[in-house]
């Protein structure tokens, strides 16, 4: 029996695609444009579907050299990009989008070894470009999430490109294997490699709230929570989501706020009461710079051209 | 002498009745006092004083200094402290523009061809708050002929002083000690000290530092008694022979005598760091004494890695052999020079892994404690910081002693910045620059150089005299440079602002100093026949989430011998911890948060440390790169 793989149940719903396994139940929403629910061991990990991440809250240096003004279209892209196309493949074979009446052909007992579902976002920029967010779900529950940005050289440089996931409640801590402290592409030489535990979701207390908390070159990440929004859930044991690198290490930040929330505050005390966990996983980040804070650009290797394609992957609910 | 309010307007009047600047040694009665670091000659006047605030010169109380003045209506204030942080005056943060921007129109005296029509700009204009301080003290115990000196370590911005109703002096230069001989004005009990401090004066033009603009008595106040024969200035000149193995020591002493010298002597003892006595010499008492050419073979040199200090003790005896005072001072031997366009310390290339440091405390502003200094030096050690620029004024004296002891290289900066007079909205516009080449301003700035030199000349940690910050350049700053070269061949001069006036290049600054130059621009300078060694007096602007790209600067250290490193801007965020008006919780606030306008908002938040002295995340990067050397 050992060589018989545990298969994944596929629920061809009318507005969603459900994938159920031994200890997980995922729901992909065609309307919301992504992974709407990631229930693992009975605990929900998704508050709002993961979306492409294009904005970082303006740093003092970004403000000084007018980067945010020049690249402001990415702020609107971060807020208002929309999912316009969805593709599904089962066991590697593309199928017609299984909404009614196409899904009438299926049964209550559909199984699969793996499923791919790809959501294509069109950016709220002018001109527009697209981002594909492909979820490759294995029967064991691992999700390899790949984000692919299609370059357009008519667009200004990017602050960041990644994936933002919002979790329903505030994490109690996170553990990661990567670099010590807060690091950026042009500020990571002094970091130590290791395994780190971070209590709470600390926001670096820069005088004006701004992008912070990035950890470069990360191999794996464990986000630990204790609470859910499920009224029937009385269990208060800690539970964790494991995220692992795919081919390349990733960068991440784990904060209680979105870029826009940080962007809007002029002081730390203006930030809202923490309610969610905002996990940003990044494939490309602009450097922070440091020559001065009133015009000097970030050094050339630490820019992100909008004209080049960017692709990166992570593994959610990693099993290894 | 009658004090005149018009002194506030006149840049040629900046010290009246003050004693001459002198070295920063302390005198003690005996060895036990030295051990306890507590001199019985010193009485602190710090504490609760009576205080009256006036929003302008016209509404100040004109009789408060009089002996019979009834001060029952006065409030209380803690000395030292800033008047704004005591709640009497509005807090304001502004960077380059003058703090009266948009409120009143002023131009510095003499700066425009036809002096602009303006009311007496500081004595009559209503943009000038006034703090009136009163305190009482009993005369400290004094033997016959002992003098009593009143000493202020720092008062911002201009101060008039009265004792028992008699005017005794006036001073400017906020960050430099002011001393007045009050011996002849004292009575045994209930002496009344009155101090009137103005927020603005002509000195405001040359104290336009990028910081919160505070005024008041913000450093210690003390009474110092001096024996009838007292060493008031000590000039320790340690030099080394070319091979650096032999040290030569010359010591010059200036003595005040308030009785006839009819004998007596001064004994000199020099010991090494282990206390082993090397010299034991005696000289007859005189107003000028020299101990010359004391030779130390196999001399220990002072440096960051080995801050070796020798111990000097001077003892003054009267004609009957009574010990009048003991003066301990620690000094070091080190050699600073420029050879082949490289700054060498003890024949080694100097690499500055430095920071700019403002004196800052998020609760008390620039009124800081010794513990704050020790904490900062502990952070220096953790982050491999080996040098500090005292931006942009002399620090509390204790700081220099600590730097001597811990081997921190100091760029000792004058209290001088006139940024608003030559740069507006980022553009160089020196139409009314001061001090420039204006004769009316020359003595004011040369006096600052003199005070800084005379006070701090014995500190081995000081490797550079910095003429000031961001004040453009002209004959007056050239005169400061000349002053330091005339007085001191053991250190280099530093000034950055001459980059805008290449015609002064040969007369100002021994080093090519720039701020915020890109690595590419520095590389360009260093590859095109540089004529001075290069350092960054400010670089790596640590505002918010910053300090990216340090490697590009680090590479320059490897690529160019004449690249000497630099001072990161800066050490600690300047923000104020206040109670949130909504939640009641303590929060950090910055410019503009006090309804203060014009303001430069959060621009003073550029530290490697947050204002509460916790490290910013970038600290690990600094620790790494600074740890390479």
pLDDT tens-place string over residues A40-98: 999 999 999 999 999 999 999 999 999 999 999 999 999 999 999 999 999 999 999 99
Q: Any CB–CB contact under 8 A between A273 and chain B? A: no
Separation CA A266–CA A206 (nearest Å): 10
**Is B66 labeled as catalytic in the residue annotation?**
no
Q: Is residue B148 packed enough to be buried (19+ CB in 10 Å), middle (13-18) or exposed (0-12)?
A: buried
For residue A208, the chain B residues in CB contact (below 8 A) are: 544, 602, 605
Please check whether residue B603 is in contact with residue B592, taking contact to mean a CB–CB distance below 8 angstroms: no
Q: Any CB–CB contact under 8 A between B623 and chain A? A: yes
* 8 Å CB contact of B548 and A205: no
Interacting residues of B301 by C-beta distance below 8 A, sequence separation 6+? B240, B244, B308, B332, B333, B334, B335, B346
> Which site among A192, A292, A297, A300 would you substitute to test the B interface, given the most B Cβ atoms closer than 10 Å to its Cβ?
A292
Q: Is residue B154 packed enough to be buried (19+ CB in 10 Å), middle (13-18) or exposed (0-12)?
A: buried
The CA distance from A170 to the nearest CA of chain B, in Å, is: 22
In the predicted structure, residue A3 carries a pLDDT above the cut 50: no
* 8 Å CB contact of B545 and A207: no
* 8 Å CB contact of B621 and A182: no
pLDDT for B115 equals 64
pLDDT for B114 equals 67
Instruction: Tell me which residue has tokens 């220096």.
Output: B380
Q: Any CB–CB contact under 8 A between A287 and chain B? A: yes
Interacting residues of A288 by C-beta distance below 8 A, sequence separation 6+? A59, A61, A184, A186, A187, A298, B545, B546, B547, B548
pLDDT for A1 equals 37
Q: Any CB–CB contact under 8 A between B107 and chain A? A: no
In the predicted structure, residue A2 carries a pLDDT above the cut 60: no
Q: Which of B172, B179, B417, B538 is catalytic?
A: B538
* 8 Å CB contact of A208 and B602: yes
Q: Which of B470, B496, B512, B621 is catalytic?
A: B470
Q: A51-82+114-316 has which fold? A: Beta-galactosidase; Chain A, domain 5 (2.70.98)
Q: Where are the domains of chain B?
A: 5-226, 229-331, 352-572+608-626, 578-606
Instruction: Return the structure tokens found at B508.
Output: 């100002």
Q: Any CB–CB contact under 8 A between A296 and chain B? A: yes
What value of ipTM does the predicted structure carry? Answer: 0.94
Instruction: Return the structure tokens found at B495.
Output: 């000034």
The DSSP bridge pattern shows strands A130-138 and A114-122 to be antiparallel
**Is B359 labeled as catalytic in the residue annotation?**
no
Residue in chain A closest to B576 (alpha carbons) equals A207
Separation CA B494–CA B491 (nearest Å): 10
pLDDT tens-place string over residues A234-255: 999 999 999 999 999 999 999 9
> Low-confidence residues of chain B, pLDDT below 50?
none
Q: Any CB–CB contact under 8 A between B577 and chain A? A: no
> Which site among A187, A214, A265 would you substitute to test the B interface, given the most B Cβ atoms closer than 10 Å to its Cβ?
A187
Least CB-CB distance to A289: which of B539, B549, B588?
B549
Interacting residues of B252 by C-beta distance below 8 A, sequence separation 6+? B233, B234, B235, B237, B288, B289, B290
Please check whether residue B224 is in contact with residue B231, taking contact to mean a CB–CB distance below 8 angstroms: no
* 8 Å CB contact of B545 and A212: yes
> Which site among B545, B575, B582 would you substitute to test the A interface, given the most A Cβ atoms closer than 10 Å to its Cβ?
B545
pLDDT tens-place string over residues B84-100: 999 999 999 999 999 99
CATH number for B352-572+608-626: choose from 3.20.20.80, 3.90.226.10, 2.60.120.260, 3.30.300.30. 3.20.20.80
* 8 Å CB contact of B623 and A268: no
pLDDT for B463 equals 98
In this prediction, residue A4 has a pLDDT band, given cuts at 50, 70 and 90, of very low
pLDDT for B120 equals 87
The CA distance from A164 to the nearest CA of chain B, in Å, is: 21
pLDDT for B106 equals 94
Separation CA B506–CA B498 (nearest Å): 10
Separation CA A11–CA B290 (nearest Å): 99
Instruction: Count A/B contacts: CB-CB distance under 8 Å.
Output: 129
pLDDT for B143 equals 84
In this prediction, residue A5 has a pLDDT band, given cuts at 50, 70 and 90, of low
Separation CA B416–CA B445 (nearest Å): 7
Instruction: Tell me which residue has tokens 């009789």.
Output: B63
Q: Any CB–CB contact under 8 A between B373 and chain A? A: no
Q: B229-331 has which fold? A: Immunoglobulin-like (2.60.40)
Least CB-CB distance to A292: which of B519, B541, B610?
B541
Instruction: Return the structure tokens found at A252.
Output: 């991440």
List the alpha helices (DSSP H) in B350-438.
370-382, 397-406
Q: B5-226 has which fold? A: Jelly Rolls (2.60.120)
């Amino acid at each position: 029996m050992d060589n018989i793989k545990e298969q994944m149940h596929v629920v061809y719903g009318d507005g969603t695609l459900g994938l159920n396994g031994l200890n997980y139940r995922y729901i992909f929403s065609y309307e919301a444009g992504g992974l709407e629910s990631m229930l693992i061991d009975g605990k929900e990990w998704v508050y709002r579907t993961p979306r492409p991440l294009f904005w970082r809250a303006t740093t003092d240096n970004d403000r000084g050299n007018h980067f945010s003004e020049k690249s402001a279209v990415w702020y609107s892209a971060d807020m208002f990009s929309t999912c316009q196309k969805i593709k599904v493949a089962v066991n590697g074979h593309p199928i017609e989008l299984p909404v009614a009446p196409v899904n009438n052909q299926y049964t209550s007992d559909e199984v699969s070894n793996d499923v791919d579902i790809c959501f294509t976002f069109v950016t709220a920029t002018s001109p527009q470009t697209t981002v594909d967010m492909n979820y490759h779900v294995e029967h064991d529950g691992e999700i390899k999430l790949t984000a692919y940005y299609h370059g357009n050289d008519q667009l200004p440089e990017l602050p960041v490109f990644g994936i933002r996931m919002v979790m329903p409640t505030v994490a109690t801590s996170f553990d990661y294997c990567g670099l010590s402290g807060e690091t950026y592409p042009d500020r990571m030489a002094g970091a130590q490699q290791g395994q780190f535990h971070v209590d709470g979701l600390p926001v670096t207390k820069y005088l004006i709230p701004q992008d912070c908390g990035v950890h470069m070159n990360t191999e794996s990440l464990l986000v630990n929570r204790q609470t859910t929004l499920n009224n029937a859930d009385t269990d208060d044991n800690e539970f964790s989501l494991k995220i692992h690198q795919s081919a390349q290490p990733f960068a991440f930040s784990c904060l209680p706020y979105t870029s826009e929330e940080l962007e809007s505050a002029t002081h730390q005390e203006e930030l809202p009461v923490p309610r969610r966990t905002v996990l940003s996983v990044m494939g490309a980040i602009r450097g922070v710079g440091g020559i001065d804070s009133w015009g000097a650009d970030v050094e050339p290797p630490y820019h992100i051209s909008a004209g080049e394609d960017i692709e990166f992957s992570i593994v959610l609910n990693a099993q290894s | 002498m009658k004090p005149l309010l018009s002194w506030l307007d006149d840049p040629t009047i900046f010290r009246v009745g003050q004693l001459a600047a002198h070295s920063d040694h302390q005198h003690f009665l005996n060895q036990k006092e030295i051990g306890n670091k507590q001199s019985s000659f010193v009485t602190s006047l710090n504490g609760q004083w009576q205080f009256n605030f006036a929003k302008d010169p016209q509404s100040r109380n004109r009789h408060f200094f009089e002996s019979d003045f009834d001060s029952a209506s006065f409030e209380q204030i803690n000395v030292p402290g800033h008047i704004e942080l005591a709640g009497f005056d509005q807090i304001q943060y502004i960077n380059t523009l003058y703090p009266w921007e948009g409120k009143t129109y002023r131009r510095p005296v003499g700066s425009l061809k036809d002096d602009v029509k303006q009311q007496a700009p500081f004595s009559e204009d209503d943009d000038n708050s006034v703090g009136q301080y009163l305190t009482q003290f009993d005369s400290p115990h004094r033997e016959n002929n002992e003098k009593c000196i009143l000493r202020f370590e720092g008062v911002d911005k201009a101060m008039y002083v009265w004792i028992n109703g008699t005017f005794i002096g006036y001073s400017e230069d906020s960050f430099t000690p002011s001393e007045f001989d009050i011996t002849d004005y004292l009575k045994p009990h209930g002496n009344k000290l009155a101090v009137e401090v103005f927020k603005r004066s002509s000195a405001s033009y040359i104290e336009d530092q990028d910081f919160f603009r505070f005024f008041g008595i913000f450093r210690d106040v003390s009474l110092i008694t001096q024996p009838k024969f007292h060493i008031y200035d000590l000039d320790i000149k340690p030099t080394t022979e070319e091979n650096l193995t032999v040290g030569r020591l010359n010591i010059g002493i200036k003595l005040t005598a308030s009785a006839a010298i009819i004998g007596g002597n001064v004994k000199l003892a020099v010991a090494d760091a282990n206390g082993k006595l090397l010299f034991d010499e005696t000289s007859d008492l005189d107003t000028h004494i020299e101990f010359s050419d004391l030779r130390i073979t196999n001399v220990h040199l002072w440096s960051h890695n080995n801050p070796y200090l020798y111990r000097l003790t001077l003892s003054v005896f009267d004609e009957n052999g009574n010990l009048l005072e003991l003066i301990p001072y620690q000094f070091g031997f080190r050699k600073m020079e420029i050879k082949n366009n490289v700054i060498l310390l003890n024949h080694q290339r100097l690499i500055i892994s430095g920071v700019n440091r403002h004196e800052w405390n998020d609760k008390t502003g620039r009124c800081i404690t010794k513990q704050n200094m020790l904490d900062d030096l502990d952070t220096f050690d953790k982050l491999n910081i080996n040098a500090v620029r005292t931006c942009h004024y002399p620090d509390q004296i204790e700081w220099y002693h600590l730097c001597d002891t811990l081997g921190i290289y100091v760029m000792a900066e004058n209290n001088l910045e006139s940024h608003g007079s030559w740069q507006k909205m980022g553009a160089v516009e020196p139409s009314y620059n001061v001090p420039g080449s204006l004769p009316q301003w020359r003595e004011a700035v040369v006096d600052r150089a003199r005070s800084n030199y005379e006070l701090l000349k014995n500190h081995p940690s000081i490797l550079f005299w910095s003429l000031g910050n961001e004040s453009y350049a002209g004959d007056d700053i050239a005169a400061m440079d000349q002053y330091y070269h005339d007085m001191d061949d053991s250190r280099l001069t530093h000034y950055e602002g001459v980059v805008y006036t290449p015609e002064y290049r040969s007369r100002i600054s021994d080093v090519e100093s720039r701020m915020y130059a890109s690595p590419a621009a520095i590389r360009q300078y260093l590859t095109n026949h540089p004529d001075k060694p290069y350092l960054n007096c400010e670089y790596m602007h640590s505002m918010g989430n910053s300090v990216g790209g340090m490697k590009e600067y680090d590479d320059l250290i490897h690529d160019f011998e004449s690249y000497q490193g630099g001072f990161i801007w800066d050490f600690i965020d300047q923000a104020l911890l206040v109670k949130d008006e909504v939640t009641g919780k303590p929060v950090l606030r910055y410019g503009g948060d006090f309804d203060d306008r014009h303001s430069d908002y959060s621009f003073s938040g550029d530290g490697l440390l947050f204002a509460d002295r916790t490290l910013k995340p970038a600290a690990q990067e600094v620790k790494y790169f600074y740890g390479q050397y």
